[in-house]
């Protein structure tokens, strides 16, 4: 039976809710693929975002980690293929920290590739009726940072845990007129199908 860590982020940037946080409970309750799913809510801070993931990976054995985050302007579930060794944004994090442009890891490679079967997860979400796509641009804010750090952590510690990240569109109640959004039920349906496919590919011992 696969053991999967599923993470979302707290609200940020003036939003009262974060869809990545909102979908955690129904997904964990559904246990797609019969997986044992643990959840964490990450702070939207450069300093603290990766800490809950690192602690989970240190304290437990997971077959996969799928991290979720808000991607304003996205029109579909965006499964990220790569994280870059850069961080920074015009806006501040939830601690008020602003970074212009800096490497995440001075000793790390320019980029790290997701280790989940991205195409399989996209196909599963599409088959369930949810818009889904692959993405080669995770940005340079905290979503990209935690994906990069998780991949580097597994590499450094020789962990076979598969790591992936999905950007989610706004919820309808967050979107202003004309902004792309998806209903919570659609997000849950697509992510449940992706988790089912991920559980099937990672197995568990």
CATH number at residue 17: 3.40.630.20
Give the up-direction half-sphere exposure of residue 42: CA atoms within 13 A in the CB hemisphere.
Answer: 32
Q: What is the pLDDT of residue 129?
A: 98
Q: Is 60 left (phi over 0), alpha (psi -120 to 50) or beta?
A: beta
Which parts of the chain sit beneath pLDDT 70? 203-205
In angstroms, what CA-CA distances link 31 with 1, 16, 48, 195, 197? Answer: 11, 27, 28, 9, 12
State the Rg of the chain over Cα: 16
Q: Which domain holds residue 153?
A: 3-202
> Which residues are known to be catalytic?
80, 143, 167
What does the alpha-carbon distance between residue 150 and residue 161 come to, in Å, rounded to a whole number? 10
Q: What is the pLDDT of residue 159?
A: 97
Rounded to two decimals, the pTM is 0.96
CB 87 within 8 A of CB 141: yes
* Domains held by the chain: number: 1
Q: What is the pLDDT of residue 175?
A: 92
| DSSP element (H, E) containing 38 | strand 36-42
What does the alpha-carbon distance between residue 86 and residue 105 come to, in Å, rounded to a whole number? 8
In angstroms, what CA-CA distances link 185 with 119, 153, 154? Answer: 22, 33, 32
Q: What is the pLDDT of residue 201?
A: 79
Q: What is the pLDDT of residue 203?
A: 63
């Amino acid at each position: 039976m696969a053991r999967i860590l599923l993470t979302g982020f707290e609200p940020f940037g003036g939003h009262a809710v974060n869809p990545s946080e909102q979908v955690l409970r129904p997904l964990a309750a559904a246990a797609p693929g019969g997986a044992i799913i643990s959840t964490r809510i990450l702070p939207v801070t450069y300093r603290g975002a990766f800490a809950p993931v690192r602690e989970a990976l240190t304290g437990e054995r997971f077959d996969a980690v799928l991290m979720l985050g808000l991607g304003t302007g996205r029109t579909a579930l965006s499964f990220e293929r790569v994280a870059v060794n850069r961080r920074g944004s015009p806006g501040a994090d939830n601690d008020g920290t602003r970074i212009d442009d800096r490497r995440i890891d001075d000793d790390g490679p320019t980029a790290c590739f997701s280790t989940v079967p991205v195409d399989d997860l996209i196909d599963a979400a599409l088959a369930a009726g949810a818009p889904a796509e692959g993405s080669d641009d995770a940005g340079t804010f905290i979503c990209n940072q935690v994906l990069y750090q998780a991949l580097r952590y597994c590499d450094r510690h020789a962990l076979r845990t598969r790591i992936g990240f999905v950007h989610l569109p706004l919820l309808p109640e967050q979107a202003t007129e004309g902004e792309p959004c998806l209903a919570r039920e659609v997000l849950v349906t697509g992510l449940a199908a992706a988790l089912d496919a991920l559980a099937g590919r990672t197995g568990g011992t």
